[in-house]
Amino acid sequence: PDYEIVESPAGLWRRFRYAVHFDHRARYEFAASQTVIDGEVILDAASGSGWGTNYLARRNSARLVIGVDWDAGAITEARRHTPDKARVTFRQGSLLFEQDLAGIRADMIVSFETIEHVSERHSPKLLRNFRKVSTEEATLVISTPNRDLYSPYTHREGRPWNIFHKREYDPDKFVDLLETNYWRVKDLFG
């Protein structure tokens, strides 16, 4: 035919959300595949509605998985849909306030697609707070969009494309941010 089939914006949005779901799930599958010893504690930092927190609890032998998120509604939803309340708990609070993380000692910290929502000034505080609540040998499994792929013209436009992102990082800047804030980078994936 001599016409072009153009997908509606609603159809594109559905496909995008479908792809994002699998992308996010892959991150939690990766985190769950990391070695967790019986009795350890996992912190899911910026846990949202808690499905990833519950996934981590189902997929390993951690003694406790703690989800922390600033959104009280998300925490209420997470608590409502948590089957294993003995091993999974949720706390409403900011990752930037030490008092909201008080009493947590984590052997693994999982933080997916969070740090780009924090200002450049506060990003070091976030990473230092993760270090303060971690055990000596803790692992940080963290992800953020690769600025060069996600917002390739940031340098020209002066800001990330996603209006909710304060700062996006290229791999070198992200590694530098982690290492200058007391985290040794073992592996970098993309």
Q: What is the pLDDT of residues 129-150, one digit of tens each?
A: 999 999 999 999 999 886 666 6
> Residue 155: pLDDT above 70?
no
| Residue 96 CA from chain centroid, whole number | 14
pTM for the full model? 0.85
- The whole-angstrom separation of Cα 178 and Cα 92 is 25
List % helix, strand, coil for the chain (3-state, nearest 5).
40, 20, 40
Nearest to 28 by CA among 10, 49, 7, 12: 49
pLDDT tens digits, 51-85: 999 999 999 889 999 999 999 999 999 999 999 99
> Residue 110: pLDDT above 60?
yes
164 vs 136, which has greater pLDDT? 136
Element (H, E) at 188: none
Token digits of residue 75:
């925490």
**Cβ atoms < 10 Å from Cβ of 145:** 18
